[in-house]
Amino acid sequence: MKFHNLLPRTDETCLLTEELIILPNSNRSITNHSITDDDLAAVLPHCPNIETAVLTGVSDLSDRSVILLARTTERLKSIDLSGCRQVTDIGILELSSQATSLESIKLNDLQSITDRTISSLTLSLAHLTVLELCNSPFLTASSVRDIWTFSRKLKTLSLKKCSRVTDKGFPAVSAPASSTGPSFKEVRAESSTRSLRRKGKLPMRDAAVLGLPSSSDLFRLDDVQIQQRPLSWLDLLPPLDLPPHHIFEDLRLLDLSYCSKLTDNAIAGIVAHAPKISQLLLKECDQLTNKSLESIAKLGTRLDTLDLGYVENITDLGIVRLTRVCTRLKSVDVSLCTKLTDLSVLILSTLPHICRLSFVGLRKITDNAIYFLAEQTPTLTHLRVSECPRISLEALHTLIAKHPKLELLSACGLPSLKRIGVQRFSDMPPSGYDRRRHGSYRVFNGPKIQELRGFLDKEDRRRREAERSNIIFTLRDDDSEDLY
């Protein structure tokens, strides 16, 4: 039996309860509730058969209720405590020790969760397939290493906004054995040279030849040593060397958005040990470069969703190399990748299955890219080109005409869309939208896109008729085709 925003009231319904879902109240919902932590604590001891618990709508949920749930039910497989900020390590540790059948656990936005708790979860839950830990400020590489070491059955791993996580938390790529080391002859020659110097037959090398600093450089050397000194014990962690057969066969979704300390090395290690990822989200991982794209390309046709928003160091060359191999991409976000030009858009347009593209803030792209999209992407359903000032209304009109199945067009901040008559087809701006910063709000959804197309078609007919009649053409904001 399933209860949605409602608690069982009788002994019989308590025994039959398998799904308990309590979501946050919404202005549009007709099933709003006033369930509190006390109400939940009174019912949970009588519900031993709960398999799925979503408690995100209990704003004052505490460790008490989590502990009662863990101790009462032995069949619990999925739990979502996202946003329940009063839950601490105490409740989660009880879950890890009692509810050992858990397969899915979502702890997003739990501000007080620490490494010790996450390490305990990975060690205790052998069947874990979904782990979401978004916005956990105290999470570090220490617990992330345990995830990669022990939770090999994961299908979904989300570490979004875990800003303290570094490369040390991810598998390291073993460097090939160096072939440039000294040979036997070189070692023997060096030994002979040292022997001759001791006998006085060769002059001793000075400090510069030996690479030693002079007295004038000593203070600079001290500064460098201070700067390179490890900041904490996390910096002293050794690389996470996993054997080649340690593969995450089932991992499909990996969200590392806003993990700004990650570098190309982390991406290389991830791809080496999770070669079947289909959705990879790397928004605002701003230290990544084209080397990461080369690593991601090894995912090949398995990859269908890629978010590279705000990764400013990637270039057209990286996109070209990626799309040559990852030919089944369906959704790509390269917003604010400011080094990209029309070439990247042209290359992405050639992907046969592409349906979602986001180019927000790419100030270098022009109408040429939009015209190419119009001709080459019959599967396109969502397009975001906000804050691309060089795109004209005529180019977007051509795109809309060629794509009758387009479901979303976001074109905020385009000077060409300030003209009269266009705004009435756009959605209303959300509360708090800063028009001075982002420009005019222009987001077109569903049937409004085709209504906009009809309006622009009418304007074209009026313009041609005005030219034939030798009449000055004037813009209108209604649907009339009158020339005056």
Predicted confidence (pLDDT) per residue in 236-249, tens digit: 888 999 999 999 99
Helix axes 89-98, 115-124, angle to 10 degrees: 10
pLDDT at 235: 76
Judge whether residue 405 has pLDDT over 50: yes
250: confidence class by pLDDT, cuts 50, 70, 90:
very high
Alpha carbon of residue 432 to chain centroid: 24
Q: What is the mean pLDDT of the chain?
A: 88
Best CA proximity match to 417, nearest among 388, 445, 460, 382: 388
pLDDT at 105: 98
Domain boundaries, the chain: 1-102, 107-171+239-277, 287-430+437-484
Amino acid at residue number 172:
A
pLDDT at 30: 64
What phi, psi does 149 have (nearest 5°)? -90, -40
Fold match, 107-171+239-277 / 287-430+437-484: yes
Residue 216 structure tokens: 């004038």
pLDDT at 327 over 70: yes
| Residues in CB range of 233: below 8 A, 6 or more apart | none
Q: How confident is the model at residue 435 (pLDDT cuts 50, 70, 90)?
A: confident
* Superfamily (CATH) of domain 107-171+239-277: Ribonuclease Inhibitor (3.80.10.10)
CA dihedral angle for residue 360, residue 362, residue 366, residue 368, rounded to 10 degrees: -80
Contact between residue 387 and residue 363 where contact means Cβ atoms under 8 Å apart: yes
| Residues 472/458, Cβ–Cβ less than 8 Å | no
* The pLDDT of residue 219: 45
Q: Which two tokens stand for residue 322?
A: 């990626």
- Calculate mean pLDDT across residues 50-79: 95
Q: Is 307 helix (H, G, I), strand (E, B) or coil?
A: strand
In the prediction, which pLDDT does 218 show?
44
Q: What CATH code is assigned to 287-430+437-484? A: 3.80.10.10
Question: Of all residues in the chain, what percent carry a pLDDT higher than 90?
Answer: 73
Cβ neighbour number for residue 370 with a 10 Å cutoff: 25
pLDDT tens for each residue of 173-209: 875 544 444 444 444 444 554 554 555 544 444 444 4
pLDDT at 482 (0 to 100): 57
pLDDT bin (cut points 50, 70, 90) of residue 460 is: confident
Using CA atoms, how far apart are residues 58 and 317, in angstroms rounded to an integer? 49
257, 256, 305: which is closest to 277 by C-alpha? 305
C-alpha R_g of the chain: 30
CA dihedral angle for residue 307, residue 438, residue 474, residue 396, rounded to 10 degrees: 0
Is the model's pLDDT at 483 over the cut of 60? no
Distance CA 348, CA 335 (A): 13
User: If phi over 0 gives left and psi between -120 and 50 gives alpha, with beta otherwise, what is residue 200?
Assistant: left
pLDDT at 184: 44
Read off the pLDDT of residues 282-322 as tens digits, 9 standing for 90 and up. Answer: 999 999 999 999 999 999 999 999 999 999 999 999 999 99
pLDDT at 473: 61
Interval 367-383: pLDDT, tens: 999 999 999 999 999 99
Res 25: pLDDT: 85
Residue with tokens 């008729």: 465
